[in-house]
Chains A and B, each alone.
Chain A
Amino acid sequence: MRGNTVKSQTIHPKITEVLTETFKVPAAEILPESTMDSLEMDSLAVAEFAVIIKETLGVAADSEKLYKDATLTDISAFIDAAVGGEAAGSAVPVSNTR
């Protein structure tokens, strides 16, 4: 992550969307300092979260390394940097019909 930028305290809207819609995490619990752990997202849930981020934003990440213990602010900064750093791959909508 770029050290010379002030960390934004906002959460990337896709993170909030995925947490509330796919994982049904109550919106009130989704805070900048929350971690996947504090949101009771287990490793399987975090791995699924990573697939959805990859499929929708084109941002690939090792979920255990990058998402498991990071705050939502950290994850947002990572996603912003990855999306801004290069034209993200074509975003593919994820079917959610199961």
Chain B
Amino acid sequence: MNRPAIAVTGLGMITPAGHTTDTTWDGVCRGESFARTVPELHGCAVDFACTVSGIDLDEAVGGRTAFRMGRYVKFAVLAAREAVADAGLDPAHWDGARVAVVVGTSSGGSAGLTEQAVALERRGPEATSPSGILLTIPSMPAAEIAIQMKATGPSLAPCTACSSGVTALSVARDMLALGQCDIAIAGATESIVFPVAMTGFARSGAAALRDGDPARLCRPFAADRAGLVMGEGAAIMVLERAEDARARGAAPRALLAGTGATTDAHHPTSPHPSGAVAEAAVDAALADAGWRAEEVGHVNAHGTSTPLNDATEAALIGRAYPHRPPVTAPKGVLGHCMGAAGAIEAGLTVLTLQHGIVPPIANLDAPDPGFAIDCVTKAPREVSVRRAVSHSFGFGGQNAVIALQAP
């Protein structure tokens, strides 16, 4: 099928490293973890995380509406506004019927649901919020963005665990290719730094447990890696057909060249040890982009810092890209932003293409000696790269890979 080229014309982010794309990029390039003790998690086995801080979200989102939004919805609204402004678009003047909103999340408003459950149990139905349902459902980020931006085209919320962000970008790409919209606001959001989710992660065995300074704990691809550290945030892109972007004089940040998705069909938390199915997602993305593996100049890895993921992924990277392109893993700095991670990391990959810089992996001096991959450590590395990929391998074995290209 001869598909139109798809351009990334806008990017917005809110992460533990910053409230905008630029501040996030600066923070990620410093290569130091943002993990810290979180007072609201007092008493939990895991009482630290990388959180979005230093911003009054309600003030930023604006009056009369923030009260009905969960934290994950506020993140998405703020990132979407930045992305649309970055694209040089003005919702007051666009044909909203041709604008789609595709914003994924893994856990949606589970934090809000828990808060309402506690209110109901302790104080009765009259103490619960009339917005209780709005605070929980995963489609509200897309719906609230649509309301704010008068985007009356299709909107939806892909949910594929930690690969939800890449899935959302992939679905949005398809909608543009099929002519279902002219502009797609796409990405993902997540906020589950609250006691129930953090306790669940601690009990699942995937989380790094407290051992000294939380900022030293997330060490993707290190020999002594000890599990994931929770993050939160959102990243949203504006996607358009490249021809349309050119026609309106917009300069793309990058092109979305291809995507690939597979499912391990193996186990809810453990990746298949062979990595063969995840590798098939890489192969699918490269085939979709029409690239040969050796053309890939950079890999933004899933790199969760869990023993199993990093071993499986390092072996996969060695096999899939034998020419050893530079690898980074932003979760060392940002923590694992769960459903938002794939969108944030795709955004960082776009910035690597634009700036010619691969950010370093936090807390890593050198990769596990068993891993034959070229990890960027300690300082940002200047690279000349035109083609890059970002991996997302979610719980449930939901794998998605995105291929991005300099325009």
Contacts and interface: CB of A to CB of B under 8 A. Distances in A.
A97 B40 contact: yes
Interface stretch (B7-15, B60-68, B162-170, B239-247): B60-68
A57 interface: no
A48 B127 contact: no
A56 B243 CA distance: 56
Contacts of A92: 123, 127
Contact of B66 (A24, A41, A42, A54): A24
B135 interface: yes
B334 to A, nearest CB: 22
Contacts of B129: 48, 51
Contacts of B119: 95
Contacts of A22: 58, 67
Interface residues of A, number: 21
A98 B135 CA distance: 8
A47 B40 CA distance: 27
A48 B135 CA distance: 12
Contact of A24 (B62, B70, B123): B62
Interface string A19-33: 000111110000000
A45 interface: yes
A51 B130 contact: yes
Interface string B56-83: 0011001110111011000000000000
Given A24-B59, A48-B130, A55-B123, A98 B115 contact: yes
Interface string B104-115: 000000011001
Please report whether the interface of chain B is mostly helix, strand, loop or mixed according to DSSP.
Answer: helix
Contacts of A66: none
Contact of B63 (A25, A48, A60, A98): A25
A90 B366 CA distance: 59
A37 to B, nearest CB: 12
Given A55-B123, A60-B126, A44 B115 contact: no
B67 to A, nearest CB: 5
B384 interface: no
B75 to A, nearest CB: 12
Nearest to B60: A24
B27 to A, nearest CB: 24
A24 B74 CA distance: 14
Interface of A: 22-26, 39-42, 44-45, 47-48, 51, 54-55, 60, 92, 95, 97-98
28 contacts: A22-B58, A22-B67, A23-B64, A23-B67, A24-B58, A24-B62, A24-B64, A24-B66, A25-B63, A40-B64, A41-B64, A44-B131, A45-B67, A48-B67, A48-B129, A51-B127, A54-B126, A54-B127, A55-B123, A55-B127, A60-B126, A92-B127, A95-B119, A97-B40, A97-B115, A98-B70, A98-B71, A98-B111
